[in-house]
Structures are given as C-alpha cells and as structure tokens.
Amino acid sequence: MTDLREKSVAPVVPEKVGRKRRIPPAVAILLGAALILILTYTLPPFRNYQLATVGAYFTVTAGLTVLTGLNGQLSLGHGALMATGAYTFALTQNRWLSMPLSVLAAIVVTTLAGVVIGLAAARLRGPYLAGLTLAVAVVVPSVTSTFDTTFNSDMGLSIALDPPPGTIPMERWQAWLCWAGALVTAFLLATLTRGRFGRDIRAVRDDETAARLAGVHVARTQVLAFVVSAACAGLAGALFAVLAQSVSPGAFPLTLSLFLVMAIVIGGLGRLVGALLGALLLVLLPALAQTAGERSGSQHLEGNLALVIFGVVLVVVMLAAPGGLASIRFTLRRK
C-alpha cells in the first residue's frame, strides 16, 4: 500500500507542480485576466453573473486553502468573516458612496476580526479550533439581531452601488470587479506563499516543534496565516455584497462555511488551482442541482440536492484518500 502510494503519487505530482511553478504568478494572472475579459464579452448576462460569483468564491477559497492546506488550521468561520466584510462594505457604501473606500473598509475590519480570532486560534488545535470557529460561524449572524438598528436584523440592508461606468452592463461590471479582486488576491497569495512566509507556515503545519527549533515564531506565523486568510474573506464578503447589492444574515449561513471547506478539500488542499476548482464547483453544482430540481418538479430538491452532493463528495474524498487530508494536500515544494 504505502509502497504503491510512494511510487505512483510522490514522483509524479510534485514534478507536475514543479513544472507549473515555472510559470511566474504574474503571467498566470495576466492570462487569467485576459481570459476573463474575453469571457465577459461573450457570455450572456446571467453567465457573467455566475462567472462573477466564481471570482468572489475564489477570493475566499484561495485564502482558506493557504490557512488550512499550508498552515494546517481548519476554519469553519470564514462564512462569518465574509459576513463581516459584506456588512462593513454595505454600511460604508451606504454612508459615503465610494466603492474603493468601502472595499478597503471591508478588508480592514475583517482583518481586525481575523486578528482577534487568529490570536485565539493560534492557541488551539484540532477539534477545539474547529469548534471555536464553528461557534463564530453560528453566532456572528445573530449579531445582526442584537444591534438591529444598525444591521436591520434578518431583513438585512440594501446597498446603493455606484453605477457601472459608461454603458457597461451591470453583470459584466460585477464580473470585472469580482475577478479583479480574485486575481489580485491570487497574485498576492502566490507571491507570499513562495517566500519566507510560505516556508514558515508549512514548517509550522508539518512539525511545530521542529519549526520552533528552526527559529520560526510559531504563534506569530499562525496568527499571520489566519489574518491573511481573513483579509481574503473580507474582500470576498465585499464582492458578494456587490453581487447581491444587499446583505442579510441568511446569505451567510453555517453551510456557507462548510461549503468553503468542502471546496478547498476537493480542489486539493494548499493549491490555488484547487481553490479555483472548488470555487467553480460551488457555483456549478448548485446550478446543476437546481436544474435537476426544476426538471423533477420538486421544490424541495433545489438547494438541498446540492447539499447532499457536496456532503457525499466530501465524505467520499476524505475516506478514499489514504491518510485523509494529508494526502489530499499538495506540498508546493519550492524549487
């Protein structure tokens, strides 16, 4: 068994990854941007909207895969962090009507939230960390009811967006915004994880004691990883707010956080390409399930079928991979 695994997986995969690695991130990002541009001019509005959603999801899954895949911290709270970003965006936008400012505010505020959770998270392991972040995911939406004069409870807030410049249709504009965010995020993460930070977070994941002995500041590295991924979640939250032109607690249920985990696990933990794949699945699968639901004429099937499929895929992938997460994970060796 072990023998086989070592022979078939180990030499093949890193080589492939290694070859991909030779394409500098900047080139990959530019190619991606060009592709998106072409797509936004060819796709119909609804597809553009879906494309935009993929971009928004990618923004958060990219950050999460760095946290979970490269640093080994599982967060079930990223849905709540997205909510933080989305609400900050909404409140700032409705007040000052400036999208750059609002996006910036969303990132800053969510980053601060990430610092708080990350400080706690760095002292926790395994199920305790999962439990804490799960609590965050479940509890944070209830804040909207506690401070209902600001957040307007379950009704949420609608957002006064700046109109798209010129005659650009809304959906294309949304796709551009989301993908601008996604690609910048991916570029920054790719650059970041190739440098010293990347080496440190992987060292901490693999063996905390060894990392400490090698001079890595373990706690600081973990907090930093959490903060980076929180910033991504904040931006993603803002992008979701741009997409929906409104925010409400119902848009950020616990299942959103679980979906994000599923996406990065299925895509192959620790790879940005995997995060992209996961983001794609998050949009495609529910769409397919919805179609199937409409065909069958059962309203109950719609959202729920996607839930079941996601769950089954997640369980099957976890059980089929020998060693669980560790073997799904890619090592991203530096050359």
**For binding to other proteins (CB under 8 A), which residues are involved?**
2-3, 6, 72, 74, 76, 120, 123-128, 130-132, 134-136, 138-139, 142-143, 145-146, 148, 253-255, 258, 261-262, 265, 298-301, 303-315, 318-319, 321-326
> Could you tell me the smallest distance in angstroms from the CB atom of residue 79 to other proteins?
12
> Could you tell me the smallest distance in angstroms from the CB atom of residue 217 to other proteins?
18
> Could you tell me the smallest distance in angstroms from the CB atom of residue 99 to other proteins?
31
Q: How far apart are alpha carbons 27 and 69 in whole angstroms?
A: 24
Nearer to other proteins, 51 or 203 (CB): 203
> Could you tell me the smallest distance in angstroms from the CB atom of residue 1 to other proteins?
9
Residue 207: CB partners within 8 Å, gap ≥ 6? none
Nearer to other proteins, 52 or 258 (CB): 258
CA–CA distances in Å: residue 325 to residues 41, 177, 268, 330 = 39, 33, 9, 10
Nearer to other proteins, 98 or 150 (CB): 150
Backbone dihedral region for residue 166 (phi beyond 0: left; psi -120 to 50: alpha; all else: beta) = left
| Separation of first and last alpha carbons in the chain | 28
> Could you tell me the smallest distance in angstroms from the CB atom of residue 232 to other proteins?
20
**b/e map of 21-38 (b: 16 or more CB within 10 Å)?**
beeebeebbeebbeebee
Nearer to other proteins, 37 or 313 (CB): 313
Give 7: exposed, middle or buried? Use CB within 10 Å, 0-12, 13-18, 19+.
Answer: exposed
> Could you tell me the smallest distance in angstroms from the CB atom of residue 41 to other proteins?
36
Nearer to other proteins, 111 or 133 (CB): 133
Nearer to other proteins, 108 or 120 (CB): 120
Residue 289 C-alpha from the chain's centroid: 22
DSSP 212-243: HHTT--HHHHHHHHHHHHHHHHHHHHHHHHHH
